[in-house]
Amino acid sequence: NYWVHLTIILVFLNLLPLSKHFHVITALPNVFLSRLEPKGALSLIENLEDKVIAGELENAFCSVRPPGHHAEPGRAMGFCFFNNVAIAARYAQNVLGLERVAIVDFDVHHGNGTQAAFYDDPSVLYLSTHQYPFYPGTGSFHDIGVGAGEGTTLNFPLRAGHGDQEF
């Protein structure tokens, strides 16, 4: 299943008066993606994933801004409408055929949306380092996934002021 976000959010966003630098596109059957012009984060991720699968690159690292990691499957949150990282992970699985995907999220905020998207999914490893407690108030060390996904969510909450040594 390609869906990461509910249709109602996508319909709402299509009705918004968007600037010339942001638009909603359909790139794959039944998949809606957001991207910035002219070189969107998702376009970059898809291109790099394709090159890794084709053997043109040994590996790739995508520093995605915005990650969209607060956008949950059923709602926008924290200025994030789409979870670019979650969409890219599903693209890697459903289009490129990867069985497992790892997402490493290092940000001052916990990626509650990315965690929610894959919390019960054993095929996606989600690892987050973030300040805790801080917005959005999620990401406890004890949040490890549920059901078949138990153990595939790893949260490493850090206190404010922690630096390289603690990290």
Residues belonging to the active site = 70
Q: What sign does the CA torsion over 142, 145, 151, 157 have? A: negative
The rounded distance, in Å, linking the Cα atoms of 144 and 94 is 24
Contacts of 88 (CB under 8 A, 6+ apart): 42, 45, 46, 49, 62, 64
Amino acid at position 5, single letter: H
Look at residues 6, 158, 156 and name the one whose alpha carbon lies nearest to residue 77: 6
* Residue 130 φ/ψ, nearest 5 degrees: -165, 160
Amino acid at position 90, single letter: R
Token code pair at residue 129: 């380092």
The rounded distance, in Å, linking the Cα atoms of 49 and 42 is 10
The rounded distance, in Å, linking the Cα atoms of 3 and 154 is 23
